[in-house]
Chain A
Amino acid sequence: MIVRRSIQWGLILCLTLASLTGCTLYQIAAQQEKATGLWGELVVGEAFGQSFVSTHDNLHRIDLATATYARTNSAAVIFHLLDDPEATRDIISITLPEPEIQNERPTSIRFPPLPDSGGRSYYFYIESPEGSPGDAITVYANAQDRYSAGTAYRNHQAVSGDLTFTAYSRETFTFSRVLDDFLSRAAQDLLFFLCYGILVLGLCVGLVFLIWRRAASKKRSEL
């Protein structure tokens, strides 16, 4: 019984460790998640943008809160990522077909990771050259300036407030890296971990003793 349980727990532990090996995760590199309203239709000649600072390397994805007015629009949307609003050259430019624009959740715009993005400022904007009234999307924004490292832009002119967005960077973690991180920090407080270890170990021994006593008394009563 005990052996079977040990095997079960061992398998669970191995699966957990395996799942941590080499998993790629998204870190939040910049975020403004509160919205106070919509910005109006993104029609031809309009551009909705936001500047931000990426706090991590490998900037890889921007989730922008969009709305389609709960209808099917035909106009495509073009996403541009630049160094700043004055930059003339796009770092990334992606055309998003209408079906990719979400109404009830943010639209994810993915691009190849930018290796040295940590600490750098960026500017993104969207436009819809074929958008017309009644056939266009919009974005959620916050009228208050909640994100201090950047601001919203309308037609490339800074306006008060921020768009509702989250920028993600991509990072690969291995179990050994997480463990190393923990151990290196734990090593800086050995005294605590010594006392803590003794306490936890003492309790484990106490528990084993109580279980052993129970098993012994059960055996005695059976005899």
Chain B
Amino acid sequence: MKRPLKHFPKFERSTWRVFVVGLLVRLLVMPFAAHSDLMHMYWGAHLIAYHQRLTLGFEALLRYLHGGYLWLITPMLPPTGSLWVHLAEDPSLNPFLGTVVSMQGWFDFISHPQVFRTLFLLKAPYLLFDLACAILLYRLGSDRARSRQMFTFWWLNPILVFAVYVYGRHEVIALFFAILSLYLIKRKRQNWGLLALGLAIAIRYYAVFLLPFFVFSVEARWKKRIQGLIIGLIPWLAVNLVGWALVGSIEAWGLVDLPHDYYLLSMKFEIAAWDHLYIFPLVYFLLVLHRLYNREIGLQSLVQYSLIALLLLFATAYTGQSPHYWTWFLPLLTIATVENRQLLLLHVTQIPFLIVYSFIGGRSTAGYLFAPISPDFFWSLPSPVEAFERFASPEMVISLARTAFSAVSLWMAYLVFRQIKITFSEDPRAKDAT
């Protein structure tokens, strides 16, 4: 009988050092930093766990995951009534989503005497998913040196630490399923891999952009490819079907309403009235076509195409208000940097530009994040924009950083694109692509 854990590569001492340093950094920020997005998710979860409001719809799977966890840790949290203060008569009204109510709700929450314990516990499941991601990446390495490099890149990545432990976002859950998908595909379990990607899609929709590259890079025959696309969409379809059957609510409607959809279309050329050329969809479809006509398949090709797609997304779409989006490309970049060390340096270059780009969020992405330590003081800290607006136009400074970030991202995409093995076929339906 096979025992996969037996073949698990052991951590070297240097990897243990990286592990301890990364864990310390995470633990040091977990109880002291938070953004209202964390509470927004847990507010929906508390309605499920304590008020039996079994709602479906947008982000339903995530809310149930958080709700189940919240129910489990209830004895360790402060009394429910003191933590989840209902400011409005309608208990389903989320105080962490809105304008005036949200400020009061948020201030009440961070001023709670046991806020540190609460924040630590609410973020604890993210730590488990994060660790699972790091271990899977370690196992994805083809040798010990590569495994160590991938583990280090992931575990010490400041973008990840900021998005998950300072900002308190749940991105790492979807990232875990995306990495699991890569791992399973490497182990030649294509269908399970696509199902894992499907779970990532059901949790965070961005993963749907990766689906064509995953399917076309692992399957050569069209019959298998169509089967793969269906498998990849099964979890999301199941969530919608359950919602429709039980409460007549379809998650897809929530998705259509989101203003976030327009972020993808933010860069465009206006050809004429009612006739626009959207840049991200344009380059994305070009990349899909390139993938279709290329007969090379395999994990490397999958990683390269998927990474390029996400780099193009960040280079052309509006993401400044949501720094957690920038974690999406990290798993793929982790694998790609092992093959191309230039990407590591370029990624390091991206980080300061991203920091300036994140100033677009004003105080909410600056001092407010550490408000639990001393609410009065951190709520008074000016945002970086307020600090330098006397000397230069903040809009210009942020836009310049954004432009530089786009330039670096496009250059990274080019470097990865250059490494893609290309064997073009006249007909993309060719069967002998293997």
Chain A interface main SS type: helix
Asked if residues A105 and B17 are in contact (CB atoms below 8 Å), the reply is no
Within B106-124, the residues touching A (CB, 8 Å) are 113-117, 120
Asked if residues B20 and A206 are in contact (CB atoms below 8 Å), the reply is yes
Chain B residues with CB under 8 A of A211: 17
A210 and B382 contact, Cβ closer than 8 Å, known pairs A148-B100, A200-B28 = no
Q: Which of A27, A181, A189, A206 contacts B374 (CB 8 A)?
A: A181
The listed residue with most A CB atoms (<10 A of its CB), out of B99, B374, B377, B395, is B377
A105 and B380 contact, Cβ closer than 8 Å, known pairs A148-B100, A188-B113, A207-B21 = no
For the complex, give the distance between the alpha carbons of A171 and B27 in Å: 31
Q: Is A223 an interface residue, CB under 8 A from the partner?
A: no
For the complex, give the distance between the alpha carbons of A27 and B120 in Å: 27
Chain A residues with CB under 8 A of B373: 178, 182
For the complex, give the distance between the alpha carbons of A173 and B24 in Å: 29
Q: Is A7 an interface residue, CB under 8 A from the partner?
A: no
Asked if residues A27 and B376 are in contact (CB atoms below 8 Å), the reply is yes
The size bracket of the interface on A is 20 to 34
Chain B residues with CB under 8 A of A203: 20, 23-24, 27
Q: Is B318 an interface residue, CB under 8 A from the partner?
A: no
Asked if residues B116 and A207 are in contact (CB atoms below 8 Å), the reply is no
Query: Shortest beta-carbon distance, B208 to chain A, in Å?
Result: 31
For the complex, give the distance between the alpha carbons of A177 and B373 in Å: 12
Q: Which of A10-18, A77-85, A126-134, A191-199 contacts B (4 or more CB under 8 A)?
A: A191-199
Q: Which of A104, A148, A188, A199 contacts B27 (CB 8 A)?
A: A199
Chain B interface main SS type: helix
Asked if residues A104 and B393 are in contact (CB atoms below 8 Å), the reply is yes
Q: Is A28 an interface residue, CB under 8 A from the partner?
A: yes
Asked if residues A105 and B376 are in contact (CB atoms below 8 Å), the reply is no
Chain B residues with CB under 8 A of A177: 377
Q: Is A147 an interface residue, CB under 8 A from the partner?
A: yes
Q: Is A92 an interface residue, CB under 8 A from the partner?
A: no
Chain A residues with CB under 8 A of B21: 207
Chain B residues with CB under 8 A of A199: 27
Asked if residues B16 and A171 are in contact (CB atoms below 8 Å), the reply is no
Asked if residues B13 and A214 are in contact (CB atoms below 8 Å), the reply is yes
Q: Chain A: which residue is nearest B23 at the CB level?
A: A203
Q: Chain B: which residue is nearest A31 at the CB level?
A: B103
Chain B residues with CB under 8 A of A193: 116
6 additional A-B residue pairs with CB within 8 Å, beyond A173-B380, A177-B377, A200-B27: A173-B377, A178-B374, A192-B116, A196-B31, A196-B120, A210-B20
Interface residues of B (CB under 8 A from A): 13-14, 16-17, 20-21, 23-24, 27-28, 31, 99-100, 113-117, 120, 363, 373-377, 379-382, 386, 389, 393-395
A-B contact pairs, 13 of them (CB 8 A): A25-B380, A26-B382, A104-B395, A105-B393, A105-B394, A181-B375, A181-B376, A182-B373, A189-B113, A189-B117, A196-B27, A200-B27, A213-B13
